[in-house]
Amino acid sequence: MSASETALAGTGVPTARTVHANLTAPGLVEHALCRKEGRLSADGAFMAVTGVHTGRSVLDKFVVDDPEVHDRIWWGKVNQPMPVERFQGLAARVRAWLGERPVLFTQDLYAGADPAHRIRVRLVTTNAWHALFARNMFIRPPREELDGFTPDYTILHAPEFETDPARDGCRSGTCIALSFAARTVLIAGTSYAGEIKKSIFTVMNWLLPEHGVLPMHCSANLGKGGDTALFFGLSGTGKTTLSSDPERSLIGDDEHGWSDTGVFNFEGGCYAKVIKLSREAEPQIWDASHRFGVVLENVVGDDFGDLDLDDNSLTENTRSCYPLDFIPNAVRSGRGPVPKNVVMLTADAFGVLPPIARLSPAQAMYHFLSGYTARVAGTEKGLGKEPQATFSTCFGAPLPAAPPRGLRADAVRPDLEARRRLLAGEYRLDRRRLWHGQAHEHRAYPRPAAGGAGWIARQGGIREGPLFRPDDPEIPARRAGRGAEPARDLGGQGRL
């Protein structure tokens, strides 16, 4: 078997003329510059421009409606069904198109810092800078582990390939399609690199709950006393900023799992939003973003490569992608003990919640599942420049393929040193109550349904905490005189 055939083994892509497999940063940057994929900043970072797509194309995300997973998918506006035959046809065309490219780049990588909950990922892409992005973002295996590397999931990345809505059943020329049966991700018609990392986060969200692990859209860091803190939030709400603390060690900035033994990072890199980044406020992210090996996405610079991090002419969603070890005090193992502190970043731009509140365990569970927050400008295509209120379950509703199926809190204590796990069953939430300033405790009862012991949430009164006032008179007053309001779509999986 030739080197090219080995690099493409298991992907279904016909052997291309040249395949560059597992190049390191210097080789990838060299190819990217020779191919005019971008340019270098004055500090040596690679600057790429993604064109029309400067955020995730949430409305172009599809999950293949395979019979074995049909009843387990959280179908809706985000996880749209794609018939199996449509996916097979599209995948065949993408594979043939990739095989016709003169040059391809592949990367063999891990997702999951805990070896017990790790998957092997192979990326096939047409651009060197996208390969560098993936290499920075995921966990890089030692060289000796690349021999005989067999992927569990394959990402076929074809950013210049445009899908045909009539033929492929897509909404536009862009499509992100995931088949759990084929263990394949197709990304076509978008150069925004965030689609690569988030597609694997969706895969991990699908796989890990069956193994008793809670997948989390959060950052994590570790104190000097061994205390782990989690920061939940949607993209752009401050996870990377708050977790990159010189006084604490960074575990990861975006995607983690919570098992019986502690938390672990899914990734090996960071994807920091850098619009208006300053060295004084965020020195670690600043330093990491001004060096060779970094990918700067849609960041503006002058003719000399000096960066203008205040320039949002391309997008508000400017990004820096760098390996985790670019942060001096990062936890090299990507793992930490069971968390003692959990912070939920609501990005509440509308004054619905107090600026800061210490929640009781029941309140924390409620807010985790209801996920009142805001979608930040630029992080998704079409969001515009103003934040949009939304309910994003578990602070990551656009990302999982399966619905949250229940909540179990073990050994719940007032300091939130508790394990919160999504397990078998399901929850039903009255999201209107949160909007009207009312909070309700979730109580779990066995559901007498045929075939298993599921759980449902029943809601009862909850005692107010020291900083949380469910009966705050200002909240009803804000809505006084409005009369009945029709249901409004807030962009999540439910309606208000």
Q: How many residues does the chain have?
A: 496
Whether residue 337 is predicted with pLDDT greater than 70 in this model: the reply is yes
Q: Residue 482 has what pLDDT?
A: 41
Q: Residue 186 has what pLDDT?
A: 98
Angle between helices 128-137 and 25-34 (to 10 degrees): 150
Q: What is the CB-side half-sphere exposure of residue 88 using CA atoms within 13 A? A: 6
pLDDT digits (tens, 9 = 90+) for 28-64: 999 999 999 999 999 999 999 999 999 999 999 999 9
Band (pLDDT 50/70/90 cuts) for residue 361 is confident
The DSSP code sequence of 271-308 is: EEE-TT--TTT-HHHHHHHSSTT-EEES-EE-TT--EE
Band (pLDDT 50/70/90 cuts) for residue 287 is very high
DSSP structural state of residue 330: B
Band (pLDDT 50/70/90 cuts) for residue 353 is confident
Q: Residue 236 has what pLDDT?
A: 78
Q: Hunting for tokens 């690569």 — which residue is that? A: 196
Q: What is the CB-side half-sphere exposure of residue 220 using CA atoms within 13 A? A: 29
| Residues 153, 183 contacting (CB under 8 angstroms) | yes
DSSP structural state of residue 495: B
Least confident of 11-25, 84-98, 482-496: 482-496
> For residues 129 and 138, what is the distance between their CA atoms, to the nearest angstrom?
14
Average pLDDT over every residue of 131-158? 97
Helix (H, G, I), strand (E, B) or coil at 319: strand
Q: What is the CB-side half-sphere exposure of residue 477 using CA atoms within 13 A? A: 5
Phi, psi (degrees; rounded to nearest 5) at 130:
-70, -35
Phi, psi (degrees; rounded to nearest 5) at 90:
-65, -45
Average pLDDT over every residue of 248-255? 96
What residues are labeled active site? 56, 198, 217, 235, 239-240, 254, 319
195 membership: H or E segment, kind and range: helix 194-207
Q: For the purposes of burial, counting CB atoms within 10 Å of the CB of 448, is it exposed (0-12), middle (13-18) or buried (19 or more)?
A: exposed
Going through 307-438 in order, the beta strands assigned E by DSSP cover: 307-308, 319-323, 335-336, 341-344, 372-375, 388-391, 408-410, 419-421
> For residues 250 and 106, what is the distance between their CA atoms, to the nearest angstrom?
28
Structure tokens at 346: 């609501």
Q: Residue 374 has what pLDDT?
A: 82
H and E: helices and strands count for the chain: 11, 28
Using alpha carbons, select from 469, 245, 447, 227 the residue that is nearest to residue 357. 469
Q: What mean pLDDT is reported for the chain?
A: 82
Q: For the purposes of burial, counting CB atoms within 10 Å of the CB of 92, is it exposed (0-12), middle (13-18) or buried (19 or more)?
A: exposed
Whether residue 455 is predicted with pLDDT greater than 50 in this model: the reply is no
Strands 184-188 and 153-158, bridge-based pairing: parallel
| Residues 62, 178 contacting (CB under 8 angstroms) | yes
> For residues 84 and 311, what is the distance between their CA atoms, to the nearest angstrom?
43
pLDDT digits (tens, 9 = 90+) for 119-135: 999 999 999 999 999 99
pLDDT digits (tens, 9 = 90+) for 397-431: 888 898 876 444 442 332 333 333 322 222 233 33
Whether residue 488 is predicted with pLDDT greater than 50 in this model: the reply is no
> For residues 193 and 216, what is the distance between their CA atoms, to the nearest angstrom?
20
Report all structural domains of the chain as residue ranges with CATH numbers, in order of start.
3-38+51-211 (3.40.449.10), 214-270+334-479 (3.90.228.20), 271-326 (2.170.8.10)
> Quick one: CA dihedral 33, 37, 39, 45, positive or negative?
negative
pLDDT digits (tens, 9 = 90+) for 431-453: 333 323 333 333 332 333 332 22
Angle between helices 128-137 and 194-207 (to 10 degrees): 40
> For residues 332 and 203, what is the distance between their CA atoms, to the nearest angstrom?
24
Average pLDDT over every residue of 161-178? 96
Give 410's contacts (C-beta < 8 A, 6+ positions apart).
418, 419, 421
Proportion of the chain above pLDDT 70, given as a percent: 79
Whether residue 352 is predicted with pLDDT greater than 70 in this model: the reply is yes
> For residues 378 and 228, what is the distance between their CA atoms, to the nearest angstrom?
30
Q: Residue 5 has what pLDDT?
A: 87
> Quick one: CA dihedral 175, 176, 177, 182, positive or negative?
positive
Q: Residue 381 has what pLDDT?
A: 60
> For residues 155 and 178, what is the distance between their CA atoms, to the nearest angstrom?
9
